[in-house]
Each structure stands twice: as C-alpha cells, then as structure tokens.
A and B are shown apart, each in its own frame.
Chain A
Amino acid sequence: MKNFIPIFQMEMKRRSRDFFIIFYNIIFPAVIILLLGYLMSKSYGTEFTSYEFYAIVIPPFCLLMAIVSVAYAAQDEKRMKTAFRFMSSPVSVVELVLAKFTSSTIVLTICSIIILGMAKLFFHLSFHGSFALVVFLLFCEAMAVTGIGLFLGLACKNFFMIKNFMNLPIMIFGFLGGVFFPVNSLNPMLSSIINSSPLTWVNRGIIYSIYGGNYTILLVTGGMFFLVGGIAILFAVRLFKREEFI
C-alpha cells in the first residue's frame, strides 16, 4: 500500500476542485432547497417550514445523484490519458481503487456537511443534537454512492451509457423517497414500492432521529449503505480490467 498516500493526496486535490461534485452537491441543492422551499411555503406551517423539509430531503438525494459524478471521476485517467502511467508503474489496483474511494467519500461528505451547515444557518434547521448522526448517515450514503459510482465508472467504457442508465432509477428513488413532495399520504398499497427507495429510509432515519429521538432506522440504514459500499468496492477491484481502464 506504498502508493495509496500519493494517489489519495492527488485524488483529494482533484476531487475538491471537481466542478460536477461541487456544483451538484453544494450549489445545486442550495438552489433547489431555496426554490422548492419558497414554492411550497404555503403548504407547511411555521413550526416545520418547507425550507426545513427540503433541507432534510434534498442533500441525500443530491448525494445519490453523485453516483454519476463519481463514475465520471473514475474515468479521469482515461480521459486525461494518464491511465497508461498508472498501469505501467508499480501501482496496484487495490491502491488505486481505495484511494479514489476514500477521497471521493470524504469530499462528498464534506459537501454534505457544508449544505447541512447552510441549512442550519440560513433555513434555521434544528438537528436537536442529531447533527453528528445525520452526518454519519450521509457519510455512509457517500460510501455506497462512491462504491457504486466507481464500480460503474471502472467497469463500463462509455460514460454516457452510465449517465443515461443511472438517471432514471435515481429520479424514481427521489420521487418514491418523498424528495419532491411527501408520499406518506399516498395509497398504502404503494408503501412497499415507496419502501424500495433507499431515500425513503434515509429521510425517515433523519426525521425520526431529529424529531423523535429514534436512531434505529438511521443506524440500520447507515449500516446497509456501509455494506453496499464495501461490496461495490470489492466488485470494482475484482472486476478491474487494465484494458478498460486505459
């Protein structure tokens, strides 16, 4: 693992300047919270405002969308033609994939912390002492998102195919997870479909922990994301092909 540190440092530098990651995980969610919060302001009361609702549900949704940004970042070396250098130097696949995984997870988590901080500051979202737990959940989600994004980016040659393939399920998960409007009032028959969205569990976990002091859903959901991230990274390493990476 001698090459993990230099690649990790380089990846941190590149990911923290990554336009897509910064835009879709800080600027875009801030604008959406502001816009939807304003549009739906009359549907919510003063105790729990629309701004607070969207400040809770939008960051995990934008984090899920980062699968596409991470897949794009996974193909950085191919686009820059530097993959050749990595593959002809004494860098192992494990070092390369783990460095990309940890750096993207950290940068995505930092983006989430910034947007939660903005929600606290500008939209007066109170976490009732659950801020650290919410960050933990988003960190776990970032792990899963990075794992899946890296796996797709490294396994698939065509980025636009990944983008088109992933956009639809992400949007469906968003709708089912109640990102755009609350779905609890829909037909109970739909509840099993709603429950299939990971965002349903993320949003429930966050709301239950903030407003109910119940952390079970948050911790179980975090654990599931952790597992998914680990499995995705295992697949990314096992199925890594030099020819595809170059």
Chain B
Amino acid sequence: MNDLLIIDGISKKYGNKTVVARESFNLKQGDILGFIGPNGAGKTTSINMISTLLSPDSGKILFHGQDISRGQIAFKKALGVVPQDLAIYEDLSAYDNVKFFCSLYYLRGIELKERVKEALTFVGLWDKRKELPSKFSGGMKRRLNIACAIAHGPELLIMDEPTAGIDPQSRNHILQTVKTLNGRGTTVIYTSHYMEEIDVLCNRILLMDEGRVLEDLDKQSYKEKYAREGCKTLEDIFLYVTGTNLRDTEE
C-alpha cells in the first residue's frame, strides 16, 4: 500500500509550552489509524494541523507526496472531518445541513442531490431528512455530523471522538459506518477515549502523550509486546504506557 499521508516532524508550541514535539508517522491507504492518548496529549492539536486549521511551527505534512501547505485545495477536497463538537446548524433541516456542507466541495445539481441522499441514507437519517436537528437525539445528531463530513466522498476521513455521549445502538451504528466506509476505500484517522472501540475498529494504533508519539504499532504487535508486562487489553496497555496519574488539563 502507498503512503497516503506522511507526517514529517511536525511541532507546535503555544507560548513556551510545546504541545506537539517533532511528531512523525505515515498513514497508508486503507488504514484505520487509532489515535489515542490522555487529555492534553496533543491529539487535537495534531488533528488540527492535519486538517490545515493550524500551521505547524516546523515539519511538514505530505498528502500523496505533496506538501499540503502548497496544495491545500486539492488536499481539502479529499479530506473529511468529523469534529469532536457537533458542527451542524440546528435551525436547518438535516437535508439542508448535508447539502450545504457538501456544496462547499464544488458539488452542484444532480450530483450534489445524489451525494446528499447517499450520505443521509448511509447514516440512517434519510427518513428524517426534513426534520430539524434540534429535535434529534444525541445519537442522531452525531450521525448527521458524520453525514456532513462524508457526503463529498473524502479519501481521508478524520473522526475526533465521534461517539462521545451516545447510546450503544448509535455507537454500534457509527462503528459499522466507519467499517463500511473503510471497506469502500476511505482511509480513517479515529480518536476516542473508548479503548474497546479502537480495538474493534483500528488496524494500527498510535499512542501519544505530552506531545510525543510513544508507540506506533499494529494492533497485534501491541498485544504481543505488552503481554509480558501483564497487559491483557488495550486499556491495560494505555495505562501501562501513559501511567495512572490524573490528567487535569486546561484547553
């Protein structure tokens, strides 16, 4: 598989505090990369840099071998982002939300309508397309949040805690959605604090703490490496590597 994304030594500082320090990793086409770490590890800052919302202080990000700082439009067209917070207009119907955000990717006319229908059907909200999200449950809003990010057919999808605060049925639906998308060729970066989700979903797991990548292995290698330390689950490994101290961080 080819490298879709190369993160080459990116760093970010806020004042004197280094939030991300010379982070490097590659993402192959078809990967589902689990991006884990305690609060304040630098995950969101890393994701914001990959999503071009923040510029790295140093290092570069290559997409299909091209520096994204030079080819931002091409990269952005291939990128879908499911932000941690719900990013939808509560006063617009589900259909209008998906249609508007999809239209920002230069899609118009019949193609736009088809993509919107496909995305809403995919997340199980086609029947609710005319309703306002303000009437939706938490799980339905999360699914709409995903529909807005996938309607334009991104090659790379970044999902930042997409299942936070929802019921098991909606969570299961979202996990199935991610698997199906990946099966169709979408490469995914997935962050979550639910280790069982990462375990079920991801083929590779990148563990970060204090702005540094501590481990970047495939799922099986993790289990083999840490079995001798008595770690049975991914959560055991997570706590073994990052420690059990509480992380009370400020945004």
Which A residues are within 8 Å of any B CB, using their own CB?
A: 2-3, 6-7, 10, 13-14, 17, 80-91, 242-243, 246
Contacts and interface: CB of A to CB of B under 8 A. Distances in A.
A86 B101 CA distance: 8
Contacts of B106: 2-3, 90
A90 B77 contact: yes
B90 A91 contact: no
A100 to B, nearest CB: 14
B194 to A, nearest CB: 22
B105 interface: yes
Contacts of B81: 84-85, 88
A83 B92 CA distance: 16
A81 B52 contact: no
Contact of B76 (A2, A80, A81, A88): A88
B136 interface: no
B76 A243 contact: no
A76 to B, nearest CB: 9
Contacts of B51: 84, 87-88
Nearest to A91: B104
A3 B76 CA distance: 13
B88 to A, nearest CB: 7
Contact of B104 (A14, A17, A85, A243): A85
A17 B83 contact: no
B91 interface: yes
Contacts of B83: 81, 84-85
B104 A86 contact: yes
A246 B53 contact: yes
Nearest to B158: A88
B231 interface: no
A89 B149 CA distance: 10
B120 interface: no
Nearest to B106: A2
B73, B77, B90 pick with most chain A CB within 10 angstroms: B73
B86 interface: yes
Interface of B: 51-54, 72-73, 76-77, 79, 81, 83, 85-92, 100-101, 103-106, 148-149
A10 B90 CA distance: 14
A91 B102 CA distance: 12
B89 A6 contact: no
Chain A's interface: helix, strand, loop or mixed, by majority? helix
Contact of A17 (B54, B76, B86, B91): B91
A14 to B, nearest CB: 8
A75 B73 CA distance: 24
A81 B85 contact: yes
Given A82-B88, A82-B89, A89 B53 contact: no
B87 A242 contact: no
Contact of B79 (A2, A82, A88): A88
Contact of B52 (A2, A3, A17, A88): A88
Contact of A242 (B53, B85, B90, B101): B53
Contacts of B79: 88
A87 B105 contact: no
A242 B104 contact: no
Given A6-B104, A80-B88, A88-B76, 20 more contacts: A2-B106, A3-B103, A7-B104, A10-B100, A14-B89, A17-B91, A80-B87, A80-B89, A80-B90, A81-B86, A82-B88, A84-B53, A85-B81, A85-B104, A88-B51, A88-B52, A89-B76, A90-B73, A91-B104, A246-B53
Contacts of B149: 85
B114 to A, nearest CB: 17
24 contacts: A2-B106, A6-B100, A6-B103, A10-B100, A13-B92, A14-B91, A17-B91, A80-B90, A81-B83, A84-B51, A84-B83, A85-B81, A85-B101, A87-B52, A88-B76, A88-B79, A89-B76, A90-B76, A90-B77, A90-B104, A90-B105, A90-B106, A243-B54, A246-B53
B148 A85 contact: yes
Contacts of A88: 51-53, 76, 79, 81
